[in-house]
Amino acid sequence: MDVSILLNKQRAFFRTEKTKDYHFRLEALEKLRAAVIRHEEDLLQALKADLNKSEFDAYSTEIGIILSEIRFAMKHLRAWMKPAKVKTPLTHFGSKSAVYSEPYGVSLIISPWNFPFQLAVAPLIGAIAAGNCVVLKPSELTPRTSEVLENLISETFPEPYVAVVQGGVEVSQELLGAKWDYIFFTGSVPVGRIVAQAAANHMTPVTLELGGKSPCIVHEDANLGLAAKRIAWGKFMNAGQTCIAPDYLYVHESVKMDFLAQLQKAIRNLYGEMPLENELYTHIVSEKHFRRLASFLENGVTYVGGKTDPGRLVIEPTVLTEVRWEDPVMKEEIFGPILPVLEYRYLSEMLEGIRNHPNPLALYVFTENPGIQQEVMNRVSFGGGCINDTLYHFTSPYLPFGGVGNSGLGSYHGKGSFDTFSHKKSVLKQTTLYDIPVRYPNTKNALKMI
Ligand code: NAD
């Protein structure tokens, strides 16, 4: 692959202006939708081979989300593309104002392995809707899914419009060396930093969808049974390899033991008595990731799980108690099926503890008290989250999804994706019927001042 040849081809195609046409974009989205449906079986098999994702998980968290994002974009595309009329101040009497959404041009999307289909295609939908050409680099750690993605895209779109480039770090770095009109990156914080630096070299605008340690708070007045069910689901889905999974729990000391008992029950209900033998349980992506996670099992006291199968790269859904901030498991994003539990007595101190760490990508709080819900929202800065649930905010096209500070920059989903890949061009249309003289310097007075 020669990056500059591909980039030049895409630039030339973008200059034909074809991608700016409403019908062209709509048709492209329809073609993408048809291709996803056509390749559904290949995708299910690839996701099984790469991560042992069950059909239910693969459909509900990858394919289904993409199909509904495409439907949403197709339904609203015409309205999104219209220049948005805005007010004009009295001082600009006689003129009108509008904000035009124009495509940036040629965009680069780099995606991770944990939801290897969804996290590659969701930004692509926004880029197409906004009228861009796209080069997409999926993760090298999920090769079967990346291969299906490449086939699906190459048989649907010409290379000068949308192309998939496969490869690892070197390919990614070669791509990042080129001058793009927009870069959309999903992945880890350290690589996000590399991407931001590469983008800065060319003054390229960038979206960074990163990670971090997302707290989950269970207050003393929470509905413990429901909280346990929703936390177990959000944490152990995809074996915890979810950027917005609850990373660690903060449980009020007065309900800790009751809650842990409910959590244990919820985990059993979801994965059975012997999760290592559950055929529907997702594997860890690689041996390297498995070893890193297995080392965390030495932290704290194992309350649930703790067993592993290195041969099949599986780790039981695990809950660790007696954990301290100084332990390795609390020092970095876990990104696996291990849930450390901290306890707190005073809300204020606990929130201070969270605020002393980098802004999380997500935060979840379980409480029936609206005052406490509000206090948590006001005091902690985080990307997005839920009150009395986990992960669910991610799937609403009306909620822009993204991080803040260390957990990312910018957001997408629904109209947010269209806006992310569009430059907002503000235009004032002036009247020529008359002219207001006060704007011009009075030559006579100006001369007097000299
Ligand atoms: P990663 O940063 O290692 O890799 C992401 C992509 O960057 C891959 O395509 C990879 O090939 C490329 N890459 C890796 N190293 C590179 C380098 N040195 N230079 C240039 N490119 C490089 O991330 P990952 O392990 O694939 O994914 C896990 C991370 O992603 C976690 O931190 C997780 O929280 C985060 N994540 C965030 C979101 C989100 O939406 N915010 C979603 C999923 C995952």
Strand runs labelled E in 41-94: 84-86
Specify the pLDDT at position 1.
75
Query: Which residues lie below 8 Å from residue 181, measured CB to CB, with a gap of 6+?
Result: 104, 105, 106, 107, 132, 204
Residues in the chain: 450
- 12, burial (CB in 10 Å: exposed 0-12, middle 13-18, buried 19+): exposed
| Mean of all residue pLDDT scores within the chain | 96
Distance CA 123, CA 184 (A): 8
Q: What is the CA radius of gyration of the chain?
A: 25
- 56, burial (CB in 10 Å: exposed 0-12, middle 13-18, buried 19+): exposed
187 CB within 6 A, ligand 1 = yes
ipTM score for this prediction: 0.97
For residue 154, the surrounding DSSP H or E stretch is helix 143-154
Per DSSP, the three-state class of 170 is helix
Which of 77, 171, 84 has the alpha carbon at shortest distance from 127?
77
What does the pLDDT look like over 261-314, one tens digit per residue?
Answer: 999 999 999 999 999 999 999 999 999 999 999 999 999 999 999 999 999 999
243 included as an active-site residue: yes
Q: Residues 165-177, buried b or exposed e (16+ Cβ, 10 A)? A: bbbeeebbebbbe
- Which among 150, 186, 407 is the best mutation to test ligand 1's pocket, defined by most ligand atoms within 8 Å of the CB? 186
Query: Which residues lie below 8 Å from residue 287, measured CB to CB, with a gap of 6+?
Result: 310, 313
In degrees, to the nearest 5, what angle opens at C-alpha 418 toward C-alphas 214 and 240? Answer: 25
What average pLDDT does this structure show over 165-172? 97
* Number of Cβ within a 10 Å radius of residue 226: 14
333 CB within 6 A, ligand 1 = yes
User: How remote is the CA of residue 210 from the centroid of ligand 1, in Å?
Assistant: 8
For residue 124, the surrounding DSSP H or E stretch is helix 118-129
What does the pLDDT look like over 315-346, one tens digit per residue?
Answer: 999 999 999 999 999 999 999 999 999 999 99
Specify the pLDDT at position 444.
60
Which of 208, 317, 304 has the alpha carbon at shortest distance from 264?
304
| Ligand 1 atom index nearest CA of 141 | 26
For residue 416, the surrounding DSSP H or E stretch is helix 415-420
pLDDT at 448 over 80: no
User: How remote is the CA of residue 58 from the centroid of ligand 1, in Å?
Assistant: 20
What average pLDDT does this structure show over 191-204? 98
User: How remote is the CA of residue 136 from the centroid of ligand 1, in Å?
Assistant: 14
Specify the pLDDT at position 439.
82
Q: Are 118 and 62 in contact (CB under 8 A)?
A: yes
Specify the pLDDT at position 441.
83
Distance CA 321, CA 260 (A): 9
pLDDT at 250 over 60: yes
**Reported confidence tier of residue 243, pLDDT bands at 50, 70, 90:** very high
Task: Tell whether pTM > 0.90.
Answer: yes
Specify the pLDDT at position 450.
46
- Which among 115, 119, 191 is the best mutation to test ligand 1's pocket, defined by most ligand atoms within 8 Å of the CB? 191
Please name each of the domains of the chain with its CATH number.
3-210+404-427 (3.40.605.10), 215-395 (3.40.309.10)
What does the pLDDT look like over 356-396, one tens digit per residue?
Answer: 999 999 999 999 999 999 999 999 999 999 999 999 999 99
What average pLDDT does this structure show over 30-36? 98
User: How remote is the CA of residue 330 from the centroid of ligand 1, in Å?
Assistant: 20
Query: Which residues lie below 8 Å from residue 435, measured CB to CB, with a gap of 6+?
Result: none
Q: Tokens for 284, please give them.
A: 């860890």
Percent of the chain's residues with pLDDT above 70: 98
Specify the pLDDT at position 449.
47
Specify the pLDDT at position 159.
98
Specify the pLDDT at position 313.
96
Q: Tokens for 168, please give them.
A: 């690892």
